[in-house]
Structure 1
Amino acid sequence: MKRIILFFALFIALASNANAQKGLAAGANAPAFSGVDQNGKKITLKGLLKEHKSVVLFFYRGQWCPYCNKHIKELQDSLQLLTGKDAYVIGVTPETSDNIAKTIKKTSAGCSIIQDKDDAIMKAYGVNFTMDDATFTKYKGYGIDLEANNGNTRRTLPVPATYIIDRSGKIKFMHFDPNYQKRASVKTLLAEL
């Protein structure tokens, strides 16, 4: 029961912060980005779109989030179906590389995951928000130290969002919901690919 109350309180606090963001709409040009994934592979959106029909780009909050882990696990379980449609799946998170390794261990993620060290990717896609002091204190009371998890003091998180970007660089599909419990289903992603 305590866990249910915790998630409900955190949802209300974060939803009020996240409502200011809207994310990018389908039809918009996808902002270019680059990074290095957990395997040391240099990733650029432009390069991925030269090699693949589309990119499935998802944002997640961190290894401490059970809803993020569940979503990543679902993507992993269907990764062959997604890549079978010539899609490259990539996750973006503000968490440190050590915490990305924890995410991979928890979810068996085989897709690329990159750290958004300066929040530039989250900002470009309109999914970033800053956790207020009261919510930060609540999280810390529950054992979630966002500053330690992200390796900085900005307290930035993404609204968990998913984009499908087609070869032309346009956003073909977007799922954006401030309710961190709601994610784009694999069934929906496969239908959109």
Structure 2
Amino acid sequence: MKRIILIFTLVIMLGFNANAQKGLAAGTKAPSFSGVDQNGKKINLQGLLKEHKSVVLFFYRGQWCPYCNKHIKELQDSLQLLTGKSAYVIGVTPETSDNISKTIKKTKAGFSIIQDKDDNIMKAYGVNFMMDDATFTKYKGYGINLEANNGNSRHTLPVPATYIIDRSGKIKYVHFDPNYQKRASVKLLSAEL
């Protein structure tokens, strides 16, 4: 219980650091991106939009984050509702492929998840922020080592955000909230598709 309270406190502190980020606005052309998902499938936005009516793109911080895991599980539990509307769901994270595997094991995620190894996707969508050294040290003291989790020393995390991108490549819907606990509900995403 103490660990959960400490993580909650750290989450709030990270939310304040993320306030400077704004994310992209609805109506903006979605930046192109590509990657390889956990199953070795090559992913690129243009290809996905040729095959699907829309893309639900969400950013999460890592397998160590209980709020991320809860959101991913909710997306998985209602995946047919979203894919039934010809949406392709894809998660983007800075965590390593080994840690993506841990996320999938915890959440049973059956949709594509790609590692944003160089933070390029997070930067393009305006969701990246740098964790300060003091917060990094506190996280490490609680057993959360971002350097090991992400495989680099940048201490970059995404603001939890979700974008719906329509077939024309425009951002139709944005959920961007530095409050780590607030995520776009499946019900809301489904209504926007």
Could you say which TM-score interval applies, normalised by the shorter chain?
A: over 0.9
Which position in structure 2 is the counterpart of 1:62?
62
Aligned with 2:20: secondary structure?
coil
The AA in structure 2 aligned to 1:69 is N
Distance 2:61 2:4 in 1: 19
Question: Could you tell me how far 1:17 is from its partner in structure 2?
Answer: 1.2
The AA in structure 2 aligned to 1:11 is V
Question: Could you tell me how far 1:8 is from its partner in structure 2?
Answer: 3.8
Which position in structure 1 is the counterpart of 2:75?
75
CA offsets per residue over residues 116-148 of structure 1, 9 Å max, x none? 000000000000001000000010000000000
Which position in structure 2 is the counterpart of 1:48?
48
Which position in structure 2 is the counterpart of 1:118?
118
2:18 maps to 1:11: no
TM-score (norm 2): 0.98
Unaligned runs of at least 5 residues, structure 2: none
Distance 1:12 1:175 in 2: 18
Distance 1:12 1:56 in 2: 26
Measured at CA, do residues 4 and 145 of structure 1 come closer, stay the same or move farther in structure 2, by a change above 3 Å? Answer: closer
Measured at CA, do residues 4 and 106 of structure 1 come closer, stay the same or move farther in structure 2, by a change above 3 Å? Answer: closer
Which position in structure 2 is the counterpart of 1:20?
20
Q: Relative to structure 2, which stretch is displaced further, 27-36 or 5-14?
A: 5-14
Distance 1:104 1:8 in 2: 22
Question: Could you tell me how far 1:64 is from its partner in structure 2?
Answer: 0.3
CA offsets per residue over residues 73-105 of structure 1, 9 Å max, x none? 000000011000000000000000000000000
Which position in structure 2 is the counterpart of 1:134?
134
2:37–2:43 contact (8 Å) kept in structure 1:
yes
TM-score (norm 1): 0.98
Question: Could you tell me how far 1:107 is from its partner in structure 2?
Answer: 0.3
Which position in structure 2 is the counterpart of 1:88?
88
Question: Could you tell me how far 1:21 is from its partner in structure 2?
Answer: 0.3
Question: Could you tell me how far 1:4 is from its partner in structure 2?
Answer: 5.0
CA RMSD of aligned residues (A): 0.9
Q: Percent identity?
A: 88
Measured at CA, do residues 107 and 8 of structure 1 come closer, stay the same or move farther in structure 2, by a change above 3 Å? Answer: closer
Aligned with 2:75: secondary structure?
helix
